[in-house]
Structure 1
Amino acid sequence: MTVTRRTFVSTLAAGTGLLAAPGLLRAQARTIRFATEGAFPPFNQTAPSGAITGFEPDLIQALSERQGFEFELIAQAWDGMIQGLIDGKYDAVVDAVSVTPARQEAIDFSLPYTTGGSAFVTVNDTGLTLPQTGIKVDLADEAGAKPAIDAVAAALKGKTVAVQVSTIQSGFLDTYLAPQGVTVRAYQTGPDAYQDLLNGRADAVMASVTNLSAFLKKNEGKVAISGPTFGGGLMGNGAAIAIAKGSDLATMFNEGLKAMSDDGSLSELSAKWFGIDVTPKL
């Protein structure tokens, strides 16, 4: 798959102070190249100046200061981003990448830095409400999840659900809802999908709960989560830094994430960008 690179690169250099522990990677003081979308708020977004901001850029900045490395954030379209990692176009991906069994066959991951499932959002004044709102459904239990999936599919039959292309949510919709008469419309970015929901060109949108937080806050009173929250199975178990198979980066990233979890700074970043703590205890 061809990777389409955007027209700018945002480079942020971290300090190279004292290292917490010896290690070949740190001794090399290499610059680590992170691909990110720059269009998936509040995880990452592009400011008018062209700088990439958000929860994940702040996270990588904090990790670089703790672990003693420099880094480069490369703005990259999501579709094809993981293939670009496999092809060696960058060293890591930090773009709310969910840890799923299918992805673990092709790439490795750090420890997760967020948890949470995926949900549907509908526009309040359309009268469309999905069943079992507030219920958590574990897709790892296929038999137990089936009644909730079928109920949602029945409510959405003949309707259109917007979703970002090549995401775990698009995989969920294609696997479980499209065969039951639900139209799935894929978009290059999450904000594009959200905009079509607001414009009435889609009946619902599906995304991660963490990503939906900014959209819900911005459109409070207009839209709401409707239906169950789905997790596990093909939805994965949290977002993590994606790295190539066998990469020597995993240990360093995990050390930094664990330290941030232990001292509360990871939770503080979450509260800053999401308004709540969506981080796991590592």
Structure 2
Amino acid sequence: MTHRAPIRRFCLTTLFASLLLGGAVAQAKEWKTITIATEGSYEPWNLTLPGGRLGGFEPELMTNLCQRMQMQCKLVVQNWDGMIAGLNAGKYDVIMDAIVITPERKKVVSFTVPYAATPATFITLKESPLLPAEKNIVRLQNDEKTINAAIAPLKAALKGKTIGIASGTVYTPFIDKYFKDVADVREYTASADAILDLQAGRIDAVFDDVTFAQSMLARKENSNLTFSGPQLGGPIWGEGEAMGVRMADQDLKAKLDDAIRAALADGTVKGLSEKWFKTDVTP
């Protein structure tokens, strides 16, 4: 990634890639068929069912949206850490994986209107909880003084501990910025891998989306896990979760926006939210 290619090779490669992408975009402009990438392992947002079929909140919502847009939709599995690059390389047309809108991501991806907004929390073992679980949501603004005051008890409880976090998420820079001075931070390719290491005693806590955490805690094998501390939400996490498309595909974004707004207005998103999350996460 860091090595420079010879100029001639770079130009030819870039031209060839541009021609391929240009042809793909031109061919897809009618948008009769779209391909959507999701992780397939971020429960309950998306999960892989027996037989390989994808299920969860987002695949069911996408099915509804595609019916509204009168499109044929194909869902494919893609690891989170390569998802945005794959979108811009033309591997698929839409990414949908509990992706929070952030200013940094807006530079490389065009986002739809949000269809969800959720808080995050710590998960620990019941036998060694860092703090009692709190159902209240502490809304964090992008203000250093407010953030430091709100998380002071968490920092004290996590001093000398090891925190697991999925890499490349909206939560990763938050943990790096506010907890690396008191705790070791270990990054994982997938959130589920962090849960496995928590169970194995390799780390002391996992920080992740509340809806994912609820899904993990509902599993029989995770009956020894618990929430720890308050739920952290608010503008610090951005505008909410949305789908991403390539910058050039504003016509597709407009179709998705209309379908999402209609699904929010008629209660479809709320119904799917309550089915999969047991709570209303509509923005």
1:136 aligned partner: 138
TM-score by length of 1: 0.83
Q: 1:202 is aligned with what amino acid?
A: I
Which position in structure 1 is the counterpart of 2:83? 81
- The residue aligned with 2:216 is 215
The whole-number CA distance in structure 2 between the counterparts of 1:42 and 1:230 is: 19
- Within a 5 Å distance, the mapping from 1:34-183 to structure 2 comes to 34-129=36-131, 134-178=136-180, 180-183=181-184
User: Deviation per CA, 1:62-88, whole angstroms, max 9, x where unpaired?
Assistant: 001111111111111111211222222
Aligned Cα RMSD in Å?
2.4
Q: Which residue of structure 2 aligns with residue 250 of structure 1?
A: 253
Show the 5 A alignment for 1:194-205: 194-205=195-206
Q: Which runs of 5+ in 1 are unaligned?
A: 2-24
Over 3 Å counting, the alpha-carbon distance change for 1:253 and 1:77 in structure 2 is: same
Q: Deviations over 1:171-215 (max 9, x none)?
A: 21112211x131111112111111221222211111111221211
2:32–2:70: 8 Å Cα contact kept in structure 1? no
Aligned to 2:6: none
* Deviation readout 1:156-176 (Å, 9 max, x if unpaired): 121111111211122211122
User: Would you tell me which structure has more helix in proportion to its own residues?
Assistant: 2
| Amino acid across the alignment from 2:139 | V
Which position in structure 1 is the counterpart of 2:271?
268
* Partner Cα distance (1:108, 1:196) in 2: 35
Q: Kindly tell me the number of residue pairs found equivalent between the two proteins.
A: 257
State the one-letter code of the partner of 2:49. A
Give CA-to-partner distance per residue, 1:34-81, whole Å, 9 cap, x none.
111111111111112011111111111000111111111111111121
Q: Is the 8 A contact 1:26 1:68 kept in 2?
A: no
Question: Identity over the aligned pairs, expressed in percent?
Answer: 38
CA contact (8 A) 1:79 1:166 kept: yes
* Alpha-carbon distance in 2 for matches of 1:162, 1:27: 42
How many angstroms does 1:27 deviate by? 8.7
Task: Output the CA distance in 1 between the equivalents of 2:110 and 2:223.
Answer: 40
For 2:155 and 2:101, the matched residues in 1 are separated by 25
Deviation, structure 1 residue 26: 10
Say which SS state the counterpart of residue 171 (structure 2) adopts. Answer: helix
Greater share of strand residues, 1 or 2?
A: 1
Q: Secondary structure at the match of 1:112?
A: coil
Q: 2: CA distance between counterparts of 1:223 and 1:139?
A: 29
2:191 aligned partner? 190
Q: TM-score, normalised by structure 2?
A: 0.83
Deviations along 1:100-148, one digit per CA (max 9) or x if unpaired, are: 1211122111111111111111111114226977351314122211112
Give the AA of the match of 2:214: S
The SS at the match of 1:79 is helix
